Amino acid sequence: TPYKMIIHYQALTRRILTHPRIRRDFSQWSVDSEKGVVCFQGKPRYQTVIGLEIHAQLDISTKLFSGCPVDGNHRGTGCGSTSPTSLSSSSSLSSLFQKPNTSVWPLDVAVPGVLPRLSQEAVQAAVLSAAATKCELPRVSRFERKHYFYADLPLGYQVTQQRWPLAREGRLRCQRSNRGNKKAKPSKKSRMAGDDDNDDSFTVRIERIQLEQDTGKTVIMTNPKTRRKESLVDFNRAGRALIEIVFYPDLRSSVDAATAVETLRSLLKHIGTCSGRMEDGSLRCDLNVSIAPLENMDQEKTSITTQNKDHAIVQHTGNRVEVKNLNSLRQVQLAAEYEAIRQAEAAANGSPTLQETRTFDVKTNQTVTIRTKEVAKDYRFMPEPDLPPLILNEEVFGTPGMDLEGFLESNLPELPEDAQRRLKTSYGLSDYMASVLTGDPPAIELFDTAVHHANRQLTMDRERKKVPETVANLLCNELFALVRELEMQRLIEEGILDGTGETSVRFSRVDGNQLGEVVALVLEGSISNTMAKQLLRVLYEESNELKQFSAREVAQKRGFQLISDSVELAKIAHRVIAENPEEMERYKLGGKFARKITKFLLGKSMAASQGNAHPERLNEVLVEVLEEIAPLSKE
C-alpha cells in the first residue's frame, strides 16, 4: 500500500546519504545511489538516465537589460585579493533581505515604451562561464522571445536564446568523492579519458549555455484579513541575468547528478560569475529523469565495451519526467532516486509514465504532479526585434582591439582542475591538500606567494624541499582556523557578509609573504612547529601593530626561538632523566635497550621543552648527558 511504502522510504532517508551504495528499498524495488541501477527483488531491471538543466544567476552589478542595480555582495570576475578592504562597500545586506518590489526599474515590470539594453558585464560573465566549461563560442548568437502568461512574467514573454545560444558543446569533468578516504591516490585507470564504471571521475557533456532573463518570484501566503491563500509576486528578481546550462542526459545515478551540480557550482564560484547558493536561488537545478530497460545483460560478454552497452541501453530510454523546485543537493539526489523507482514500478506494471513535469515535496521526499492534464506548451518563439544579434567583439569586451581569445586570456582565472593538477605535480601535494586549496581560490594565490617567498629566504635545497608541504599544512590547518575564528563572525556581525558565506583566506590579515617567512623560519631551524603556530596567531591578532615588522623580527622580539643553548638543553635533559629512573635502569642494560630508551627520553625532553627545543641539538645534548650519567660499556 502507498502509506507503507512512504514510511519505509522516510526511515531510510537518513541512512542513505551517509552511507554510499545503500540501496533504497521501496516495496520490492530498490535503486543503487551510485550506479543508478533499479532492481526488482534484487535483479537489475532498469538503468537510471538523468539530464540536468541548471539556471545560474550571474553575479554582476545590474540586471540583464534594464540597468537596474542589483544589491548585495558581488565581486568582479576572477579571484578577489586577500585584503578585507577589497569587499564591496555596499552597506546593505544581500538581496535575500530586500523588501519586495524595491529593486525594480520600468523595464523589469514591462512598463510600456521601455526598450532593453544588453549589459556587457552579463555577456562577459556568461562568456567566462562558457569558457570554463570548454564550450564552443560562436561569434554570433541571437535573442528570442519565449511567450507564456504568468504573474511573475511581466512582459508576457521571457527574453532568451533558443536557436542560437551563446555557447554549445562543452563538458564538465567531475570527481566522485572517496568517502572517508581523503588521502587516496586515484587509480591508474582514472587517468584514462572517458568514464568507466570503475573510475573516480566522469565527464558530463553540456549541450548549450544561453543567456536569459529571470522571472519574478511568486510566494503563497495567507492573507490575515480574509484568511484566504494568496499568491504574491515580488519583482526584485525579475530581469536578472541568468545563464541556463543544459546537459546531455549523460548522468546515470543520483549521486553522480548531485556531484555534477556541486562541481558546476564550485566552478562558477571559482571564476566568480555566480555565487552558487542553492538555498538563495542563485543556482537552481531542474532534473530530467527517465529509465531505460536493461535486457538480460550477459555479464560474460566482455566484447561489449562499457560505452557500447551504455549506448544500447540509452536508445530505449522511456519518457522523461522533469522535476522542478529542487533547492539543495540532497533534494536532487532524493528526487532522482524516487523518480527512478516510481517510473520503474509503473513501467513494469504495464503503464509507463508519460512525459510530465513534477515538483518535489520536501516534507515527504517525493515528487508530485503539477497539473493533472499536461498539455504541451507552445512558446511561440520569435526573434527578439528590439535587440541586435550578439556579436562577441571588442565592443562587448569593453576594450579596443580585444577579441575573444584575448579576453579569456586576461580574465579567465586558473580553473580548479588545472590548479589541482598543478598543485599536485609542481608541488607534490596530496589530492586532499590540493582540493582544500582549490576549494578556496584565494588560497591558491596565497599558497603560491608563500612558497615563492619561503624559497627566497632559504638557502639549502634540503630545506626548500619541504617548503610546499609545510606551507600547505600551516595554511590549511592553522590559517583557515584563524580566519574562521577571528574574522568570519565579525564580518557577519558587521553585515559585510551574510551567514551563508564560507571561510576564505581572502579575509586573512596575514598574507602570503608573511606565511612564507614563517615557514622559512621553521625549516631553517629557528623556530619549532609549535612556535610557528603561535607566531602566526600573534601576527594575525596584532596585524595592525606589527605591520612594519617582518615575521623574523617579530619572532625574535617575542622570544620565539628554538632552544639551542647547550646549557638550557642539558638542564632539560637532566630533569627528564631524573624523572624517569625505571627507564634509566633499562637504559643501563645497553644495546637495543639503550637505543629505545634514548628515543623515549628524547620524546620526553621535547615535550618538557614544549616542543621548542632544537631537535638535533637536543639529541646531541641528551646523548652527552646520558654518557656522563650512565656511561655504557663499549661492546
Partner 1 sequence: YDSASEIAVAQLSLKSPEKSLSGIRVGIPASFSVQECPNEISESWSLAADLLHQHGAEIIQVSTDDISPRLMQRALAAYYVLVSAEASSNLCRYDGFRYGVAVAEEEVNFNGNSETSDLTPLERQYSASRSFGFGTEVKRRILCGTSVLSSDRFHTYYEAAAKLRAALAEEMHSTLKEKVDLLLVPTVLSLPHKIDQGSLLDPTAMFANDVMTVPASLSGLPALSIPRQTQEPSSTFSYGMQLISS
Contact positions vs partner 1 (CB under 8 A)? 109-112, 145, 147, 149-151, 154-157, 373, 378, 380-383, 385
Backbone angles phi, psi at 461, to 5 degrees: -60, -35
Alpha helices in 509-580 (DSSP H): 512-523, 529-541, 551-557, 566-579
Cβ proximity to partner 1, 94 vs 236, nearer residue: 236
For residue 144 the three cell numbers come to 528570442
Smallest distance, partner 1 to C-beta of residue 162, A: 12
Smallest distance, partner 1 to C-beta of residue 489, A: 42
Cβ proximity to partner 1, 230 vs 395, nearer residue: 230
Smallest distance, partner 1 to C-beta of residue 215, A: 13
Cβ proximity to partner 1, 3 vs 149, nearer residue: 149
Cβ proximity to partner 1, 163 vs 185, nearer residue: 163
Cβ proximity to partner 1, 43 vs 371, nearer residue: 371
Alpha helices in 272-316 (DSSP H): 306-314
Please tell me the distance from the alpha carbon of residue 131 to that of residue 111, in angstroms, as a whole number: 35
> How big is the chain by its Cα radius of gyration, in Å?
31
Smallest distance, partner 1 to C-beta of residue 265, A: 33
Cβ proximity to partner 1, 227 vs 634, nearer residue: 227
Backbone angles phi, psi at 234, to 5 degrees: -115, 120
Q: How far is CA 373 from CA 151, 225, 339, 350, in A?
A: 20, 33, 19, 20
For residue 194 the three cell numbers come to 572517458
Q: Give residues with Cβ within 8 angstroms of 352, minimum separation 6.
A: 318, 319, 343, 346
The conformation of residue 393, written as its DSSP 8-state character, comes to S
Q: Is 348 exposed, middle or buried (0-12, 13-18, 19+ CB in 10 A)?
A: middle
Smallest distance, partner 1 to C-beta of residue 70, A: 21
Smallest distance, partner 1 to C-beta of residue 276, A: 31
Please tell me the distance from the alpha carbon of residue 60 to that of residue 69, in angstroms, as a whole number: 9
* Residue pair 55/242 in contact by the 8 Å Cβ criterion: yes
Chain length of the chain: 635
Smallest distance, partner 1 to C-beta of residue 514, A: 56
Cβ proximity to partner 1, 381 vs 549, nearer residue: 381
Smallest distance, partner 1 to C-beta of residue 100, A: 13
Coil, strand or helix at 70:
coil
Cβ proximity to partner 1, 52 vs 238, nearer residue: 238
Smallest distance, partner 1 to C-beta of residue 380, A: 4
Q: How far is CA 535 from CA 261, 516, 518, 558, 598, in A?
A: 40, 12, 8, 9, 30
Please tell me the distance from the alpha carbon of residue 50 to that of residue 32, in angstroms, as a whole number: 14
Smallest distance, partner 1 to C-beta of residue 147, A: 6
Q: Give residues with Cβ within 8 angstroms of 386, minimum separation 6.
A: 115, 116
Q: Which long-range contacts (CB under 8 A, 24 or more apart) does 628-631 make?
A: 629/577, 629/584, 630/584, 630/587, 630/588
Cβ proximity to partner 1, 147 vs 558, nearer residue: 147
Coil, strand or helix at 71:
coil
Cβ proximity to partner 1, 325 vs 449, nearer residue: 325
